[in-house]
């Protein structure tokens, strides 16, 4: 009998952070009660906490790639008929009176019984620090690093960030075998009162580098600076004004400069014994787009100079509208978002339209059900790679809490994308990809250190 040795690194899930923009009134509460508090890290403020979660599951994949297998390139992920996935997460949080620190990460492996081989799917880590300053000031710094995350998944909008300790979506949505590194640094400086007026300055720098096929998938860099004014009109109503300048580079001289002025609002009424959160945001933008050198089409394609780079200006209208309602035993949320997205592996920013609908219900003390569906379309803003991408996903999960430290679950998931045969948009990806699977697994939760 062949023995497979699985190496698991105890690295951890990213710490959940409230959005610094419109979330000044407070997020809609999710489901509570039952035994599931033992299988989710507690959100209370504790002095020092170490959290560890292990997720082992068996997946049946009867319809992966369907009739598209013959068209997939060598770099495309080909999932076996069944496989085992093991994900380990760990998280350390240290809370003091005027400062909070956290280190977290995650690691995931997949075992293919047909090849008797173990492959690493993804891994990542983050370091977070929040420091209280004089005159109601707060400094927040967040540094993350990820190995081969799923970039297309970022087109799907979410109402709230996932709780710390839950599996990262990159485990299921990685669609190619090309290794990459993604780094992101964020800093936010805030002065003012949550119940009055706040001024925020934000900075963000991200970089994605590909270890293979650098010519087809050049490195991407994005840097942005943002200034925001947040005003709480009452305990349930708030307004936000923002200005952002963002520059991006996507190889061979390709670049964009984005200037955005945004106005948003939030309202949190109490309805039917629960609390709803309604958020809206409109953001007109002015774009200056420089196509990569030697690009086909546009003025560069007709120029005698192969290094010529056509430059164009265009406007874009970004918007976001979300609704969430949470009661003690169930939660419903939906969101529509039109935004400019910078994705690794895609040549140039995408003007994306996406929507998501999510429902969670605590049936009994031990059983909960969650359902989610998302759809997104993206159109390149670079004239020489004018093409579109469509993708959707759906997930249904039923979970049973055996105890406060153990839960078992089963789920069904589908995922699909289609780039309509436009290889320039995302090189080395197949023109379309379809994946469906059934999964059953067990989650073990522990807090070996807490004080």
Q: What pLDDT is stored for residue 268 in this prediction?
A: 93
Q: Which of 12-16, 149-153, 263-267 has the lowest mean pLDDT?
A: 12-16
In a domain, 176, yes or no: yes
- CA distance from start to end of the chain: 45
Whether 31 is covered by a domain: the verdict is no
Give residue-wise pLDDT tens across range 214-241. 566 778 899 999 999 999 999 899 999 9
Give the model confidence (pLDDT) of 98-122 as tens digits. 899 999 888 988 898 888 888 888 8
In the structure, what pLDDT confidence band is assigned to residue 76 with cuts at 50, 70 and 90?
Answer: low
- The CB-based long-range contact list for 322-325 (8 Å cut-off, 24+ gap) reads 322/157, 322/159, 322/277, 322/278, 322/279, 322/280, 323/276, 323/277, 323/278, 323/279, 324/27, 324/28, 324/159, 324/160, 324/276, 324/277, 325/28, 325/271, 325/274, 325/275, 325/276, 325/277
Report residue 244's pLDDT band, with 50, 70 and 90 as the boundaries.
very high
Degrees, nearest 5: CA angle 146-151-155: 135
User: 83-87, 129-133, 295-299, 338-342: which has the minimum mean pLDDT?
Assistant: 295-299
The four Cα atoms 352, 277, 331, 37 give a dihedral, to 10 degrees, of 100
Total number of domains constituting the chain: 1
pLDDT on residue 22:
28
Dist. CA 360–CA 163, nearest whole Å: 14
Contact 411, 439 (CB under 8 A): yes
Give the range of the structural domain holding residue 191, as residue numbers without chain letter. 36-450
Is 10 contained in some domain? no
Helix (H) or strand (E) holding 134: none
Least-confidence region, from 137-141, 188-192, 346-350: 346-350
Please enumerate in sequence order all residues whose Cβ is within 8 A of that of 20, keeping only pairs 6 or more positions apart, or say none. Answer: 140, 188, 190, 200, 202, 228
Strands (E), 113-219: 117-133, 137-147, 180-192, 197-210
Span 277-287, average pLDDT? 93
| 306 falls within a domain | yes
Averaged pLDDT of the chain: 78
Q: What's the whole-number mean pLDDT along residues 295-304? A: 43
Q: What is the pLDDT of residue 24?
A: 29
* Residue 200 confidence (pLDDT): 96
> Percent of the chain at pLDDT above 90?
37
Asked if the model's pLDDT at residue 313 lies above 70, the reply is: yes
Does the pLDDT of residue 433 top 70, yes or no? yes
| φ/ψ bin of 61: left (φ > 0), alpha (ψ from -120 to 50), beta (otherwise) | beta
**Is residue 28 one of the residues assigned to a domain?**
no
H or E stretch covering 171:
helix 170-173
Q: Does any domain span residue 27?
A: no
25 is a domain residue: no
134-138, 221-225, 248-252, 355-359 — which is least confidently predicted?
A: 248-252
Find the mean pLDDT for residues 133-140. 92
Q: Is residue 307 part of a domain?
A: yes
Q: For residues 218 and 216, what is the distance between their CA atoms, to the nearest angstrom?
A: 6
Reply yes or no on whether the pLDDT at 287 is more than 60.
yes
Q: Write out pLDDT tens, residues 173-196.
A: 877 777 888 899 999 999 998 889
Rounded-to-integer distance, Cα 262 and Cα 278, Å: 17
Q: Report pLDDT for 71.
A: 55
The share of the chain scoring above pLDDT 70, in percent, equals 73
Query: What is the domain-level CATH number for residue 227?
Result: 2.40.160
Kindly tell me if the per-residue pLDDT of 409 is higher than 90. Answer: yes
Among 239, 236, 240, smallest CA distance to 277 is for 236
Q: What pLDDT, on a 0 to 100 scale, did the predictor assign at position 75?
A: 58
| Phi, psi dihedrals of residue 70, rounded to the nearest 5° | -70, -20
Residues 373-390 have a mean pLDDT of 79
Angstrom distance (rounded) from CA 18 to CA 156: 18
What local confidence, expressed as pLDDT, does residue 40 receive?
Answer: 47
11-36 pLDDT, tens per residue? 333 223 223 332 323 333 444 445 65
Q: Residue 9: enclosing H or E segment and its boundaries?
A: none
């Amino acid at each position: 009998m062949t023995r497979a040795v699985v190496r698991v690194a105890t690295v951890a899930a990213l710490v959940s952070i409230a959005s610094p923009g419109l979330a000044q009134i407070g997020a809609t509460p999710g489901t509570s009660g039952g035994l599931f508090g033992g299988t989710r890290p507690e959100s209370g403020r504790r002095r020092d906490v170490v959290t560890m979660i292990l997720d082992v599951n068996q997946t049946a994949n009867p319809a992966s790639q369907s009739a598209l297998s013959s068209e997939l390139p060598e770099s495309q992920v080909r999932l076996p008929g069944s496989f085992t996935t093991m994900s380990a997460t760990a998280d350390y949080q240290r809370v003091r009176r005027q400062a909070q620190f956290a280190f977290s990460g995650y690691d995931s492996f997949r075992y293919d019984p047909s090849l008797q081989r173990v492959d690493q799917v993804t891994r990542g880590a983050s370091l977070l620090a929040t420091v209280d300053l004089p005159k109601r000031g707060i400094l927040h710094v967040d540094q993350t690093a990820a190995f081969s995350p799923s970039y297309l998944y970022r087109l799907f909008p979410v109402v709230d960030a996932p709780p710390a300790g839950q599996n990262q979506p990159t485990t299921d949505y990685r669609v190619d075998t090309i290794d990459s590194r993604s780094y992101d640094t964020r800093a936010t400086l805030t002065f003012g009162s949550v119940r009055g007026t706040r001024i925020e300055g934000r900075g963000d720098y991200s970089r994605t580098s590909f270890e293979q096929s650098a010519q087809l998938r050049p490195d991407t860099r994005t840097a942005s600076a943002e200034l925001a004014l947040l005003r709480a009109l009452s305990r349930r109503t708030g307004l936000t004004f923002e200005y952002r300048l963002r520059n991006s580079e996507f190889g061979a001289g390709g670049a964009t400069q984005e200037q955005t002025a945004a106005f948003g609002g939030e309202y949190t009424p109490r309805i039917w014994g629960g609390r709803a959160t309604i958020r809206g945001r409109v953001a007109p933008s002015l774009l200056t787009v420089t196509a990569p050198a030697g690009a086909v089409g546009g003025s560069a394609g007709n120029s005698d100079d192969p290094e010529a780079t056509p430059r164009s200006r265009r406007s874009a209208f970004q918007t976001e509208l979300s609704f969430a309602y949470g009661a003690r035993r169930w939660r419903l949320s939906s969101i529509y978002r039109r935004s400019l997205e910078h994705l690794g592996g895609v040549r140039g920013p995408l003007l994306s339209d996406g929507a998501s609908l999510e429902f969670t219900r605590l049936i009994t003390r031990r059983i909960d059900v969650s359902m989610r569906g998302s759809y997104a379309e993206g159109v390149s803003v670079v004239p020489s790679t004018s093409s579109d991408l469509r993708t959707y996903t759906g997930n249904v999960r039923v979970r049973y809490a055996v105890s406060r430290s153990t839960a078992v679950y089963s789920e069904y998931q589908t995922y699909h994308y289609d780039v309509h045969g436009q290889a320039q948009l995302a090189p080395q990806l197949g023109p379309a990809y379809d994946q469906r699977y059934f999964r059953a697994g067990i989650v073990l939760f522990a807090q070996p250190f807490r004080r």
